[in-house]
Amino acid sequence: MRRALPSILSVITAIVLCFIAAVLTRDLSTAAEAFLSMVWGAIGDWPQFIETGSVASVLRPLGESATKAAILTFTGLSVTVAFRVGLFNIGAQGQLVVGALTAAVVGAQVSLPAPLHLTLCLLSAAIAGALYALLPAILKLKRGVHEVISTIMLNWVAISLVDNWLVVGPLRATATGDNSISGTDQILPTAELPRLLGEGARLDLGFVLAVVAAIGTWWFLTRFTRGFEWKAIGLSQDAARASGIDVERGFVEAMLLAGAFAGIGGAILVLGTTLKYPATLGAPWGFDGIAMSLIGQAHPIGGFVTALFFGGLRAGGTRMQLFGLHKSFPELMQGLALLFVAAKLLWERLLTRRAKK
């Protein structure tokens, strides 16, 4: 809990600053109303529920939040597991793009019974993401290329290849009837993530997968010897190697898992929300994963909680537009919070270093 304190304080500071900015550009009552509506948009519109008794006014926002949180959780986990072995995976975006496209193609082109089809989509997206993350790992081991450089560049390779060519070229949906034809073909219903609360809310299986993945990752990292090996590698490659730990293998495994998580994040976006690879992905989910991981103190559960929080704010943020505030306020908060977390880390390090000597 103590570890979480810097993050919590950073997030609060960011929200306060954004609120002040909103007050300055509008006025106090508008800003207050806008922020309050963002909260209701995140956790459900309880006043309206009490007033009208409409269940949808609570479930719809919650479902929206959970869907966004699920994707953020996966990209956050992607950054976190790489972090564990001391690698900085900036490439979650590229891995997510590759995973999303794979899910969209498999979802649209293969026909199988529902559970199998969905599983195949998720699995192939995970494998695609993992293979795409394997590239920087191999480049690092064979050629000594720093993973930050290679993952950043591979992001643009993926985005250019997929968004600017495949999706508008060879894989572009064939126009049928009156359907709009941006993005790839619609996925088959058998590949869609089942909605857990019926059509009223968008809460789908993706959220459950995210919870399982976060807890599973935490369990693996803290309870298993392999998780311990990763931690040792992340803290000291030399000592790990001298202890008989295969450092190179650890790098490869962690990057594979990181890529798989980002790939599944992309699959969930396609199979649950967009139902095809769209012309634009909407948000830089992969890059946001870096923020989730860092604000979550590189802890799987911490990243999950962060994703819940910012997923909620984003879902609610659209409502701010009604009050004349831009919907990107939640992203602004996230950016500021990340900035403060980074500064907090710096502070902590300075303080502990002073105390140690």
Partner 1 sequence: MCCTGAAVRQRQVCTEVNRFQGPVIQLKNISKRFGGVPALDDVSLDLNAGERVALIGENGAGKSSLMNVLYGLYQPDSGEVCFDGKRVVVKTPAEALARGVGMVHQHFTLVPTLTVTENVVLGHEPTRFGRLDLERARREVDATCAKFGFQLDTSAVVRTLSVGSQQKVEIVKALHRGVKTLILDEPTAVLTPQEADELFAVTRKLSDEGLAVVLISHKLKEVFAFSTRIAVMRRGKKVAEVKPAETTPDAVAALMIGEGSGTVTPSPSGRGVGVREQTLSLTNVSAEGLKPLTLALRGGEILGIAGVDGNGQRELAEVLTGLREFKGTLTFETKPFTSKEWTPRVARESGVTHIPEDRLKRAIISDLSVEENASLGRHRSPPFAKGARIDFAARRTHTAKLLETHDVRPREPQLRVGGLSGGNQQKLVVGRELDSSPKVVVVVQPTRGLDIAAVAAVRERLREQRDRGCAVLLVSLDLDEVLELSDRVLVMYGGALNGEFAREKFDERALGQHMLGARDA
Q: Considering beta carbons, is residue 26 or 241 the nearer one to partner 1?
A: 241
Among 236, 318, 321, 328, binds partner 1 (CB under 8 A): 236
Q: Binder to partner 1 among 235, 342, 346, 350 (CB under 8 A)?
A: 235
Minimum Å distance from CB 306 to partner 1? Answer: 23
Residue 254 near partner 1 by CB under 8 A: no
Please report whether residue 229 would count as binding partner 1 according to CB under 8 A: yes
- Written as six digits, the tokens of 316 are 């609610």
- Asked if 26 touches partner 1 (CB under 8 A), the answer is no
User: At its nearest, how many Å lie between partner 1 and the CB of residue 244?
Assistant: 4
Beta pairing partners, 195: 204
Rounded distance between C-alpha atoms, residue 278 and residue 81, angstroms: 28
Told to check if 142 binds partner 1 by CB under 8 A, we report no
What's CA 150's distance to the chain center, in Å?
A: 20
Whichever of 62 and 232 has its CB closer to partner 1, that residue is 232
Query: Residue 231 interacts with partner 1 (CB under 8 A)?
Result: yes
- Near partner 1 in 298-317, by CB under 8 A: none
Burial class (CB in 10 A: 0-12, 13-18, 19+), 143: exposed
Does residue 349 interact with partner 1 by CB under 8 A?
Answer: no
Tokens 């490869």 — which residue? 252
**Residue in the block written with tokens 């304190």:** 5
Q: Is residue 239 part of the contact set for partner 1 (CB under 8 A)?
A: yes
Min CB(304)–partner 1 separation in Å: 22
- For partner 1, which is the closer residue by CB, 230 or 310? 230
Nearest-approach distance from CB 147 to partner 1, in angstroms: 21
Position 245 contacts partner 1 (CB under 8 A): yes
Strand partners, 172: 184
Minimum separation from the CB atom of position 356 to partner 1 (A): 8
Angle value at C-alpha 292, between 288 and 297, nearest 5 degrees: 145
- Residues forming a β-bridge with 204: 195
The closest of 315, 283, 284, 311 to 295, measured between CA atoms, is 311
CB-based contacts of 323: which residues, under 8 Å, 6+ apart? 26, 30, 31, 33, 34, 37
* 356 is an interface residue for partner 1 by CB under 8 A: yes
Using the rule CB under 8 A, which residue among 26, 195, 226, 327 binds partner 1?
A: 226
CA distances from 220 to 71, 212, 257 (A): 21, 12, 12
Q: Which amino acid is at 173?
A: A
The Cα 239–Cα 61 span in angstroms is 49
Q: Which residues bind partner 1 (CB under 8 A)?
A: 223-226, 228-229, 231-232, 235-236, 238-246, 354, 356-357
